[in-house]
Structure 1
Amino acid sequence: MRYFLDTEFNGLGGELMSLALVPEHGDQEFYIVLPLPSPLHPWVAKHVVPYLNNVPPGHDCAPVSRLAAAEQLAEFLAGDLDPLILADWPDDIALFCALLVTGEGEMAPVGTLRFELIRSPGFSTAAISKVPHNALHDARALRDFMTHWEV
């Protein structure tokens, strides 16, 4: 199954704040929010933080620890033997992989994962996402755009 990935983070090279995976088919989505870093980048404080909890009912927006987030992510992917994670920005993949590291020499119990960095000419979360700078809505927008673009 293909999953579309988006993250929100605290400015260039900053800490992960939220992560979403949206499957190509079905409605089982993954969305987590981590505790806010301090200090917050001013742009992030204005354009991202107000929208972290702006998700449909059924998605828990309570911040979870990195360890809990990694465990929940591994559990979410456990039923898929060949997940392909697609992202349109390199930091999304880097932050996803960093989240899987749970300790020195340890990682969340995931199976084999494949990643694809996709170039998406014409895609703009600011123009297409229902709630720009919210990882869940942005991942949905990327999925919808890629599904229509590939046809």
Structure 2
Amino acid sequence: MRYFLDTEFNGFGGELISLGLVPEYGDQEYYAVLPLPDDLHPWVARHVIPYLGSVPQALDNHVDGVTAAHEVAAFLSGDRDPVIVADWPEDIALFCRLLLIGPADIVDVGSLRFEFRRSPGFSTAMNSRVPHNALHDARALRDFVLGQD
């Protein structure tokens, strides 16, 4: 099954702030908010931080990176061939970085495939119910891709 990914991060090349994964089918979604960096990029402070709690899961899922990595592995564990779909390369990079839980250790996750869907003219934020919230943006990406298939 495909899982649509969106992340929010602290400016270009910055730390992961939140992650949303939305399955192609079903209603089991994953959303996590990670500890905020000490020095927030001003744009992120204005456009991302106010919307982190815009989903019910946000109240219960403020987690550290290692916990989030284990939760992502558990979330995907029932699927033997998950495909992670993103429309921004940094989303894939941050997702992969999250899976690294130590200098030579990766969370217990099976094989993964990634699909980068370049989508000129489409903006997840512009089509999201809550722009710059990773879960809402992942939902917007799913709806867009499924509408194109």
TM-score range, shorter chain: over 0.9
Structure 1 stretches of 4+ moved >2 Å: none
Partner in structure 2 of residue 77 of structure 1 = 76
CA distance in 1, matches of 2:109, 2:91: 18
CA distance in 2, matches of 1:18, 1:26: 21
Partner in structure 1 of residue 141 of structure 2 = 142
Partner in structure 2 of residue 23 of structure 1 = 23
Structure 2 counterparts to residues 47-58 of structure 1, below 5 A: 47-55=47-55, 57=56
- SS of match in other structure, 2:70: helix
Q: How many residues align?
A: 148
Q: Which moved more, 1:124-133 or 1:17-26?
A: 124-133
CA distance in 2, matches of 1:73, 1:87: 16
Q: Give aligned-pair identity as a percent.
A: 66
Partner in structure 2 of residue 43 of structure 1 = 43
CA distance in 2, matches of 1:103, 1:28: 28
Q: Which amino acid aligns with 2:17?
A: M
CA distance in 2, matches of 1:137, 1:76: 18
TM-score by length of 2: 0.96
Partner deviation per Cα, 1:111-151 (whole Å, 9 max, x = no partner): 0000011111331123210000000000000000111112x
Alignment of 1:133 onto 2:132: yes
CA distance in 2, matches of 1:81, 1:125: 28
> Structure 2: which 5+ residue stretches go unaligned?
none
- SS of match in other structure, 2:108: coil
CA distance in 2, matches of 1:45, 1:5: 21
Task: Call closer, same or farther: CA 1:60–1:49 in 2, change over 3 Å.
Answer: closer
Partner in structure 1 of residue 101 of structure 2 = 102
> Structure 1: which 5+ residue stretches go unaligned?
none
Q: Which amino acid aligns with 1:132?
A: P
